[in-house]
Amino acid sequence: MNRVGGVGAIGNTPVVRLERLVDDDCAEVWVKLEAANPTGSYKDRMALAMIEAAEADGRLQPGQTVVEYTGGSTGSSLAFVCAVKGYPLRIVSSDAFAPEKIRTMLAFGAEVELIHSPEGITPKLIPAMMERAAQIAGEIGAFATDQFNNTDMVDGYRGLGEELIAQLPGDIDAFCAYVGTAGCFLGTTRALRKARPTLRRVAVEPGESAVLSGGAPATQHIEGGGIGRRPPQLDPSDFDEVIAVPEADAFAMARKAALAEGVFSGPSTGANLVAARQLAGRLGPGHRVVTVQVDSGLKYLAGSLYT
Ligand SMILES: Cc1ncc(COP(=O)(O)O)c(C=O)c1O
């Protein structure tokens, strides 16, 4: 596979153990530092997987336009991959998401259309974005990556799980991750379970819109998930537990992790760390919990998180 320039640098990210945020009477907590990917997010893995699989089976033709709806992380990664590979990219996003992500997509040459939603991620927002992207695809004959329904994007995260198995010899007792499309959660847990069949798979969601826990959909502000319904590729049999994290706790933990551990990230990583600490407290010494730093805190400097 010819992976030009930065595209060849996706994956093989470091993993670190939290030393200060986790007490001695808890399990170990390890964090995969996905901000080390070229656009600063684990979404680089799935963008590459979606494009390469479509190239391989002819769904995507040379020079064809690609279209996607996105909160901005997938869009940033797709814009980066499409720029290098020579595919024009049309993006449908919203002003509910970090402006840094919109600017990144533009920097990589994508055409970006925004749906106005200043109140945050409402239950109506993602369906509206999906509808507009499908409309564009129909109008111009673009290839719709359609991340929520794309199975290649889940496979794009298998490498993350395989890397963890190589990096952390011995047991991994639990893995937790904030769920949007559930791509990272599914791809990683499937790979981990091959080597660690008893792994506890814990989905993380916003406390304010805890639909996987049986709650009602509502507006919330942890970007990247909490879309107000169970994502289509996530079956209830795919997870063993759900931890709902209030957004104030997720934001506070992101700030704390930056200062105490040098893990500089966004709110969804904050939610992952809150859930991982909860699990570590419950499992106790001699066990190991793994989670992910989804992306870099640099993507959130314009918002309220670090001000
Ligand atoms: C910032 C952020 N966190 C978490 C997620 C959730 O990842 P996934 O879609 O793989 O479930 C996303 C996905 O868009 C994201 O952008």
Coil, strand or helix at 69: strand
Q: What is the CA radius of gyration of the chain?
A: 18
Q: Identify the residue whose C-alpha is closest to ligand 1 atom 6.
A: 180
Spatial distance between the Cα atoms of 102 and 286, rounded to a whole number of angstroms: 43
**What percent of the chain has pLDDT above 90?**
97
Task: Look over the chain and give the mean of its residue pLDDT values, rounded to a whole number.
Answer: 97
- CB atoms near residue 158 (< 10 Å): 18
Ligand 1 environment, Cβ below 6 A: 71, 73-74, 178-185, 223-225, 266, 268, 294-295
End-to-end Cα distance, the chain: 43
Residue in 77, 153, 294, 299 to alter for ligand 1 test, most ligand atoms within 8 A of Cβ: 294
The mean pLDDT of 92-117, rounded to a whole number, is: 96
The pLDDT tens digits for 108-166 are: 999 999 999 999 989 899 999 999 999 999 999 999 999 999 999 999 999 999 999 99
pLDDT at 286: 97
Q: Can you list the positions of beta strands (E) in the chain?
A: 15-17, 28-33, 66-69, 89-94, 111-115, 143-144, 174-178, 200-206, 241-245, 288-293
202 pLDDT band, cuts 50/70/90, is very high
Tokens of 60: 């995507």
Residue in 268, 272, 299, 305 to alter for ligand 1 test, most ligand atoms within 8 A of Cβ: 268
- Expressed in angstroms and rounded, the spacing between residue 25 Cα and the centre of ligand 1 is 31
pLDDT at 2: 75
Could you please report the per-residue DSSP string of 185-253? HHHHHHHHHHH-TT-EEEEEEEGGG-TTTT-----B--TT---SS--TT--GGG-SEEEEE-HHHHHHH
- Expressed in angstroms and rounded, the spacing between residue 76 Cα and the centre of ligand 1 is 12
The pLDDT tens digits for 14-57 are: 999 999 999 999 999 999 999 999 999 999 999 999 999 999 99
- CB atoms near residue 119 (< 10 Å): 10
Residue in 77, 104, 155, 181 to alter for ligand 1 test, most ligand atoms within 8 A of Cβ: 181
Spatial distance between the Cα atoms of 165 and 159, rounded to a whole number of angstroms: 10
pTM of the model: 0.97
Coil, strand or helix at 99: helix
Q: Are 232 and 180 in contact (CB under 8 A)?
A: no
- Expressed in angstroms and rounded, the spacing between residue 39 Cα and the centre of ligand 1 is 14
Which residues pair with residue 89 across a beta bridge? 66
Spatial distance between the Cα atoms of 267 and 112, rounded to a whole number of angstroms: 24
Q: Answer left, alpha or beta for residue 26, where phi above 0 means left and psi between -120 and 50 means alpha.
A: beta
In the predicted model, is pLDDT for residue 91 greater than 90? yes
